[in-house]
Structure 1
Amino acid sequence: MPRIRKKTSKRGTTHQREKIKRKVAETRRKAKKEGKKDATWKTKHPKDPGIPNNFPYKDQILTEIAETRRIAEEAKRKQKEDKKAAKAAASTEQNEDKEGSESGFDAVGTLNASTVTPKAKKTVAETLDEDDDVPVLINRDLPNFKAVLDTADVVLEVLDARDPLPFRSECLEKLVEQGNSKNRVVMVLNKIDTVPRESISSWAKHLRADHPTFLFRSASAFLPSDAGSSASVKGKAKAPVDDGVGVEALLEHLGQLADKRSDGKPLVVAVVGLANAGKSALINTLVKQVAFPTYRIPSLSAPSQGPTTTTYAQELTLSIGQKKIRFIDTPGLSWESSSTESEERRLRDILLRSRGRIDKLKDPEPAVDYIVKHAEHEHLMLLYNLPAFVRGDTKGFLAGVARANALIKKGGLTDHATAARIVLRDWSTGRFARYSSPPTSPAGQSVEDLKNMLETLKTRKEMSTSVSLVKMTSGTVEDRMPVLEENWVGDEGEGEDEEASEQAMTDEDEESGDDEADENEADGSDEDGEGDGSDEISYAPAPGKRKRMERTSVKTWPSKKVAFASLPKESKQSRITGSKRKKQNSGGMKLSSTKKR
């Protein structure tokens, strides 16, 4: 007989309870065992296991760590003492001023003390803010790169110390040396603070075999900063402009070249190189002021920038005693286009210039593939804390970066595109610290004159304590021909500058311009119906509203002899009532037809 109702009691036997416990324990044991075999990382920050006791050099490593801590503590203590001494000196000066003021009142001295002191504090910030508004005149005698090379007595070729060879132009150097001595080309190894001392020394020996080479680092006030953050602007205003490295040696060499001129004219120096190599910052550091705008690291809120910060040739004259040096800042080098240009070369150009948000590329994985193929994979593992992957395996590298940043999509798939964007962002912002070594080191090239400067740089071991260095394979010298005769500012350049300057007009003027344009369109459509279109008179629009008028002119009606006005738009309610009436009329017709039958 079937059961009429459910059991009211949940009471079970002891055998059933023990059976459930045994099943649960077995299930948990299996899940724990499978979890140990799973390759997916459970945490982003694994614990540091420390140095194993059976490691043979454990005592030496512990000694180095203790020495590093001791040096850091001494530096911190010395910094505190210097700060206290500065405060004490400032307090004593204030006391002396108070004593002097108590002795007597000097109207002129008091006035000078109250007005000059605050102005001296604001000079750096004011020059940085006002330089953007000062217009720089265009020299029509230097319309293109060829004119600059013909005018220059010396060509400063600015190279990036992280990988100098791709920043060199073989065709440019041959073009400069035609009919002249090798002294016309001077190479400057810039950004030496981002590279270990050993790499800088080897590159200086390698490059000096071809041309005179100088080491350089721009002043802190002219280093790239974030264009969208206000904090960086404050820090840049306080940054010194006289802490550049290699300024004296470079100016001394240029002064010697200026002494060789017998006509008394200033030495003309053209500063050339790829975009974002540091040409404008180099000139600003030499003159110790903000003469030309420098590159700013783009942010999400900052507007997009062009392919180069310097858009045309700009000049500046520096006086050193009785000698004068005329610097010409040039835009970044661009190459002649070729139909046979490979994709690898285009990717190299993007990574070398590293301008703008390169992490916003439509397909970022090929660029990361270029980086992985030219970098030491052990260093990449240390930089991103990744498990071992095969050398040159881009997919394995991106999978590790995706897991390290918890970029897992549905189904357990790793997000390679977002991981590639993270790597490109680190590359452009400087977090991806890299260096390279020259292919060969020529013998007999001495760098004894650079010994004092090299001692100020950090060694590879010292830099590895703060950043993870990645060794890259050095590139090759650029063999493409640079664009020489294309004008930087064409005939349309003045119109574009005028439009850019007049775009600062008020919104009321723009809105009134829009209303007038709309009224003109309406009047034009009515007049078309009255007469022939051949009698129309076109007026030139205002310079500030040229683009807007061009857009509206596309929507004008074609010229006809007869024009019909468009039907007025019906409201939604009228359309609904009209459809109901049609249905009623059709229904009435059906009824009448049935009655007739």
Structure 2
Amino acid sequence: VCFVELKKASKRVSCAKRFKIQKKVREHNRKLRKVAKKKGISRKPKKDIGVPNSAPFKEEVLREAEQRKQELETLKEQNKIVKQQERAAKRKKEKEAESAGDGPATKKAKKVIEESDVIVEVLDARDPLGCRCPQLEETVLKHEGKKKLLFILNKIDLVPKDNVEKWLQYLEAECPTFLFKASMQIQDRTVQQRKQRGITAVLDHSRAASCFGRDCLLQTLTDLANKKDAETMLKVGVVGFPNVGKSSIINSLKEVRVCHVGVQRGMTRCKQEVHITKRLKMIDSPGIVAASSNPGDVMALRSLQVEEKEESPLEAVRTLLKQCNQQHIMLQYNVPDYRNSLEFLTTFAKKRGFLQKGGVPNTELAAMTFLSDWTGPKLSYHSRAPEHQGLPSYLTDAIVTELRSGLDMDVVRKGNENVKKGVRFPNLASSISFNARGPTAGVLNVSELPKETITITAPTEADEKMDGTVNTEEVLPMRGYESFSNDALHFCHQRQ
């Protein structure tokens, strides 16, 4: 067998081609120089020669330059502390204004109630009773029939079907309730983008993209809007605790991502009005503030203390694990038997690859991930619906009848049945059993919250990167000793 070795192609080019390339390069560089000359741009930046060795008093110049550098660093640190104090004073002033009743946060929940004709309280189907705020419901019902209260049982695709039916039966005895499953893949920012996507793209009928309960809820609200005067719109206020899906419901009704949503709690910071139809307007509001008197597991799910660094995520996970079935947790997260929350988080961190330097498990990151699962749209857990033993103190049979008036309850029940037929519910064996504590006490007035203690801490490196504002005219560019040439020459002329 004869093997022939193939030669590689030569990279040599003809002289005519090489000379042509060189000519084109010269012409291009000439054009660049001509344009730069017209704009007054120098060809090369002047090089800083630094302090020459022959310069007199060189050591003294360098010593003064180093001293100046230290003074600038001290000035920068002082400016950081001053700005931090100013921010703290500004926060304190805003808190005092809110406590006096002048700030917008004081009335954020009550103002939405006053402006709305219909109040929709959004409940997480995994813990509906824990999402109810008695203070909010009592405030709405004090208007004596002028405002309607509706319940939306959201995230029903994360709860077993039997559990959803029991909760629906329990809630319907007090207030009209709608089953809902919001769409999680709405990316269009405008109606035009939505129409264009419907023409060019393939429709996504996956579990996350589908929305259930929209038609029934929208039809009911439209019927209520048609009963009002022709010149007025029906205002619907969407309220509830953080991360129950208020903004996702509005996006699903509008079919456009008009409200910012995310896994992190407290994404909605201000009130936002969204026009659904010509006669219907919905008001998105920030989450209700949970009172500090609630139990620890309730605060871990319904408050923003962990996100605002007011509570340790490790402590929040410890209180949550106490209310869960340990075997269900082991099966859901595929971890072995654990004795306490720290051991669980250590195993969970190793399994997810949350490791720090040296292979140490990052239990804090594991705790934040665990809490995100519990407040996010993925983890399936359920709480048992209690036996109905009567109405709350602020509800009577007459009020219940008044809340149902004006609504076609047959349409509502038929819509809920259609939702139950369309949603794919998880199995009871794959869901975590959770012990609910009951309704969550909420604070509708910020003045009822305890005073905030503001502390001033030394600036960190991250703060200096974000807020370092020293006068640039006073800061010398530090490139070795070359940056001190101007000071050196000036010092030399003075000495001479």
Q: 1:149 aligns with which of 90, 93, 113?
A: 113
Letter in 2 for 1:364: P
Q: How far has the Cα of 1:424 moved from its partner? A: 3.4
Instruction: Name the counterpart of 2:298.
Output: 348
Asked whether the 8 Å contact 2:290–2:299 carries over to 1, the reply is no
Find out whether 1:254 has 2:213 as its counterpart: no
Q: How far has the Cα of 1:335 moved from its partner? A: 4.7
Asked whether the 8 Å contact 2:266–2:286 carries over to 1, the reply is no
Structure exhibiting the larger radius of gyration computed from Cα positions = 1
Q: How far has the Cα of 1:176 moved from its partner? A: 0.9
Q: 2:287 aligns with which of 322, 327, 332?
A: 332
Query: Mapping of 1:400-415 within 5 angstroms?
Result: 400-401=347-348
SS in 1 for 2:473: helix
Q: 2:139 aligns with which of 175, 181, 187?
A: 175
Find out whether 1:270 has 2:237 as its counterpart: yes
Q: How far has the Cα of 1:149 moved from its partner? A: 1.6
Q: 1:470 aligns with which of 432, 441, 445?
A: 432
SS in 2 for 1:309: coil
Unaligned runs of 5+ in 2: 1-103, 189-200, 391-408, 449-466, 477-485, 489-496
Q: How far has the Cα of 1:398 moved from its partner? A: 4.0
Asked whether the 8 Å contact 2:107–2:445 carries over to 1, the reply is no
Instruction: Name the counterpart of 1:199.
Output: 163
Asked whether the 8 Å contact 2:123–2:131 carries over to 1, the reply is yes
Taking a change above 3 Å as real, the CA distance of residues 481 and 143 of structure 1, as seen in their structure-2 partners, is closer
Deviations 1:323-359 (A, max 9, x none): x1222222222256xxxx35844x633433679979x
Letter in 1 for 2:440: E
SS in 2 for 1:367: helix
Instruction: Name the counterpart of 1:379.
Output: 328
| Distance in 1 between residues matched to 2:204 and 2:284, nearest whole Å | 22
Asked whether the 8 Å contact 2:274–2:282 carries over to 1, the reply is yes
Taking a change above 3 Å as real, the CA distance of residues 419 and 288 of structure 1, as seen in their structure-2 partners, is closer
Taking a change above 3 Å as real, the CA distance of residues 478 and 431 of structure 1, as seen in their structure-2 partners, is closer
Instruction: Name the counterpart of 2:371.
Output: 424
Deviations 1:516-538 (A, max 9, x none): x636x99xxxxxxxxxxxxxxxx
SS in 1 for 2:443: coil
SS in 2 for 1:211: coil
Asked whether the 8 Å contact 1:146–1:484 carries over to 2, the reply is no
Asked whether the 8 Å contact 2:212–2:422 carries over to 1, the reply is no
Q: 1:368 aligns with which of 317, 320, 323?
A: 317
Asked whether the 8 Å contact 1:161–1:190 carries over to 2, the reply is yes
Taking a change above 3 Å as real, the CA distance of residues 268 and 432 of structure 1, as seen in their structure-2 partners, is closer
Q: How far has the Cα of 1:429 moved from its partner? A: 5.1
SS in 1 for 2:442: coil
Taking a change above 3 Å as real, the CA distance of residues 196 and 387 of structure 1, as seen in their structure-2 partners, is same
Instruction: Name the counterpart of 1:479.
Output: 441
Taking a change above 3 Å as real, the CA distance of residues 426 and 273 of structure 1, as seen in their structure-2 partners, is closer
Instruction: Name the counterpart of 2:152.
Output: 188
Asked whether the 8 Å contact 1:206–1:442 carries over to 2, the reply is no
Taking a change above 3 Å as real, the CA distance of residues 485 and 213 of structure 1, as seen in their structure-2 partners, is farther
Instruction: Name the counterpart of 1:32.
Output: none
Letter in 1 for 2:277: L
| Distance in 2 between residues matched to 1:409 and 1:188, nearest whole Å | 42
Taking a change above 3 Å as real, the CA distance of residues 238 and 411 of structure 1, as seen in their structure-2 partners, is closer
Instruction: Name the counterpart of 1:308.
Output: 267
Deviations 1:546-585 (A, max 9, x none): xxxxxxxxxxxxxxxxxxxxxx999xxxxxxxxxxxxxxx
Query: Mapping of 1:485-496 within 5 angstroms?
Result: none
Q: How far has the Cα of 1:456 moved from its partner? A: 2.0
Q: How far has the Cα of 1:187 moved from its partner? A: 0.8
Query: Mapping of 1:553-568 within 5 angstroms?
Result: none
Q: 2:341 aligns with which of 390, 394, 398?
A: 394
Letter in 2 for 1:472: F
SS in 2 for 1:372: helix
Q: How far has the Cα of 1:174 moved from its partner? A: 0.8
Q: How far has the Cα of 1:459 moved from its partner? A: 4.2
Deviations 1:136-191 (A, max 9, x none): xxxx9x97433332221110111111112222111111111113239710111112
Instruction: Name the counterpart of 1:437.
Output: 384
Asked whether the 8 Å contact 1:219–1:240 carries over to 2, the reply is no
Asked whether the 8 Å contact 2:247–2:284 carries over to 1, the reply is yes
| Distance in 2 between residues matched to 1:484 and 1:182, nearest whole Å | 25
| Distance in 1 between residues matched to 2:251 and 2:136, nearest whole Å | 24
Deviations 1:72-115 (A, max 9, x none): xxxxxxxxxxxxxxxxxxxxxxxxxxxxxxxxxxxxxxxxxxxx
Taking a change above 3 Å as real, the CA distance of residues 355 and 282 of structure 1, as seen in their structure-2 partners, is farther
What root-mean-square deviation, in Å, do the aligned CA atoms of Structure 1 and Structure 2 show? 4.7
Letter in 2 for 1:433: S
Asked whether the 8 Å contact 2:246–2:284 carries over to 1, the reply is yes
| Distance in 2 between residues matched to 1:354 and 1:441, nearest whole Å | 31
Deviations 1:481-502 (A, max 9, x none): 312789xxxxxxxxxxxxxxxx
Taking a change above 3 Å as real, the CA distance of residues 189 and 373 of structure 1, as seen in their structure-2 partners, is same
| Distance in 2 between residues matched to 1:387 and 1:457, nearest whole Å | 32
| Distance in 1 between residues matched to 2:259 and 2:447, nearest whole Å | 25
| Distance in 2 between residues matched to 1:258 and 1:362, nearest whole Å | 43
Unaligned runs of 5+ in 1: 1-139, 225-236, 299-305, 487-509, 523-567, 571-597
Q: How far has the Cα of 1:433 moved from its partner? A: 2.6
Instruction: Name the counterpart of 2:186.
Output: 222
Q: How far has the Cα of 1:246 moved from its partner? A: 0.8
| Distance in 1 between residues matched to 2:288 and 2:166, nearest whole Å | 26
Instruction: Name the counterpart of 1:62.
Output: none
Taking a change above 3 Å as real, the CA distance of residues 363 and 448 of structure 1, as seen in their structure-2 partners, is closer
Q: How far has the Cα of 1:205 moved from its partner? A: 0.8
Letter in 2 for 1:197: K
Taking a change above 3 Å as real, the CA distance of residues 250 and 484 of structure 1, as seen in their structure-2 partners, is farther
Instruction: Name the counterpart of 1:527.
Output: none
Q: How far has the Cα of 1:213 moved from its partner? A: 0.4
Letter in 2 for 1:348: V
Q: How far has the Cα of 1:380 moved from its partner? A: 0.9
